[in-house]
Copies of this chain bind each other. A is one copy, B any other.
């Protein structure tokens, strides 16, 4: 009887999804994600590890197991897919970053962030392209044209903003965090723009007007993407404020916020803009206006569910990259000449180090020239940390490399196969080695932060940084500002020396008089008597 039932049951696969092997891989993947979360929690006290490295190592270990089980045929259960990455995994990560970023720090340092992100990426791209052209011509790699070299520059100029979030801690090193992370967001956009531009321009007929085109294109993309994000955010604030007066519905509010954040990203894709920039600014605007227009439960829910989605997406990416790294197909070509592949990876890693150094130190020097007071300047130690924290390469590089080097049939050409495997090597090496060294380096260079709270310094993974209440931040920044206004001894002098604070004060005035009355925001949504907002307002702040 038992056997008969088993045989009956085994026949019942018609409806249980079309492909049973995909169910197996989904099970494995979800179980691995759970394992990463549990292990990440257990390893949190460890001073070397972070969640990315844990996921990457688990991914590689699983890849090895699958490789052995399948007799060396296949290592991955899912193939790296650009669409999955750019449409489902990246948006929640970047949106959450905008949602949780300390807005004052970000905008006060906006000029240097933008110059690091735009000019810095360009310098880095040029250095890597030039270096690769020189080095690879001496090595026996295969036919690469000028477009490939430019693409290599763009691919390896793309910092991994996901990994950066794990290395630096917003609460301990707010300046460095906002600089490096802000740079990462702008850098992502710049890299993608550069890469697309390189692919779409006719590179045989290079002339000066192309530079103008590129600049105009970049400015258009930057401004249009930012505007789109801000407008979508404001629309969500307006709609929720108008609709839910007196009659709130937590589920609808949360659903609307999530859907509109996603809509901003998809709209940017629709208009060929940078979705990363759009969704980042949408997150900033939503946390400034929309978030204050909803119920207390909605605030807690959105804050934590955005953070959770971002957290899971990050682990997913690193697990994915780890598993994909052992794909046997890619390594077939390389196994003939392991030396070339190692040399290529080493050259690229060296160029990444050099390319980043070539803009971090000069641009920091220029930035320091414009600052009067000593504490506003970026010290040499901080510059070293900025340089190091941006060395990791991640999923964006992978996605761009796949796009460039697998178009003409998956790794049919030897040069393409070498470039793909080198990219994987660079991503793994930079994430694991540079990532592992980042925390000790920060402790070494900035020991005073360690002294104040030695325990939390080692726990800079995402979940920890989320525990700090979001509401505390705008209030803190405002307290800062009011402090400035009160302590100001010689106001004209202060006005001249701190122009950013003046801009901030003007913005605050404009915000209070025009924006908040229309779009809501903290203090501009009437608190219903006896509502949770009133009674427990200080709990979640």
Q: State the Cβ distance, A102 to closest chain B Cβ, in Å.
A: 18
Q: Is the CB of B12 within 8 A of A197?
A: yes
Cβ–Cβ < 8 Å partners of A30 in chain B: 259, 262-263, 266
The closest CB in chain B to the CB of A532 belongs to: B539
Question: Does A332 sit within 8 A of B, measured CB to CB?
Answer: no
Say whether A413 faces chain B, with CB atoms less than 8 Å apart: no
A246-294 at interface with B (beta carbon < 8 Å): 247, 249-252, 254-256, 258-260, 262-263, 266-267, 269-270, 272, 275
Whether the pair A252, B539 counts as a contact (CB closer than 8 A) is no
- Chain B neighbourhood of A270, CB < 8 A: 20, 23-24, 27
Contact pick for A17, options B40, B86, B213, CB 8 Å: B86
Asked if B40 and A252 sit within 8 Å, CB to CB, the answer is yes
Contact in complex: B312, A255 (CB < 8 Å): yes
CB atoms of A11 and B200 under 8 A apart: yes
The residue on B at minimum CB distance from A243 is: B41
Kindly specify which of A138-146, A420-428, A463-471 makes contact with the partner chain: A463-471
Is the pair A250, B467 in contact by a Cβ cutoff of 8 Å? yes
CB nearest to A11 among chain B residues = B200
Complex Cα distance A275/B254, Å?
27
Question: A5 contacts the other chain (Cβ, under 8 Å)?
Answer: yes
Stretch of A298-306, A334-342, A359-367, A490-498 with 4 or more beta carbons under 8 angstroms from chain B: A298-306
Whether a CB of chain B sits under 8 angstroms from the CB of A230 is no
Interface string of A48-90 (1 = CB under 8 A from B): 0000000000000000000000000000000000110011000
Least distance between A233 CB and chain B CB atoms (Å): 14
User: How far, in Å, is A383 (CB) from chain B's closest CB?
Assistant: 32
Q: Classify chain A's interface size.
A: 35 or more
Stretch at the interface among A31-39, A107-115, A476-484: A31-39
Question: Would you call A312 and B259 a contact (CB within 8 A)?
Answer: yes
- How many angstroms from the CA of A4 to the CA of B247 in the assembled complex? 49
Known: A5-B220, A33-B259, A259-B33. A269 touches B17 (CB 8 A): yes
Chain B residues contacting A462 (CB-CB under 8 Å) are: 251
Closest to A200 in B: B11
* Residue of B with least CB distance to A240: B38
In the complex the two chains form, is A14's CB within 8 Å of B199's CB? yes
A297 near B308: Cβ-Cβ < 8 Å: no
The answer, among B9, B26, B249, B262, for a CB contact under 8 Å with A220, is: B9
**A134 sits at the interface (CB 8 A):** no
B298 lies within 8 A of A304 (CB): yes
Which of A38, A266, A267 is the most central at the interface, judged by chain B CB atoms within 10 Å of its CB?
A266
Q: Which residues of B contact A20 (CB under 8 A)?
A: 270
Among A10, A31, A196, A535, the most chain B Cβ lie within 10 Å of the Cβ of A196
The 4 closest A-B CB pairs, nearest first, are A11-B200, A301-B304, A12-B196, A249-B463
Q: Knowing that A12-B200, A33-B259 are A-B contacts, what are 9 other residue pairs whose CB atoms are under 8 Å apart, sorted by A's residue number?
A: A4-B213, A12-B197, A17-B87, A18-B83, A250-B463, A250-B467, A301-B305, A305-B305, A535-B539
Q: List 22 A-B contacts (CB under 8 A).
A: A5-B217, A8-B200, A8-B217, A9-B221, A16-B272, A17-B87, A18-B83, A23-B269, A26-B87, A27-B266, A30-B263, A33-B259, A37-B255, A41-B244, A44-B247, A252-B311, A252-B463, A255-B308, A297-B300, A298-B304, A300-B300, A536-B536
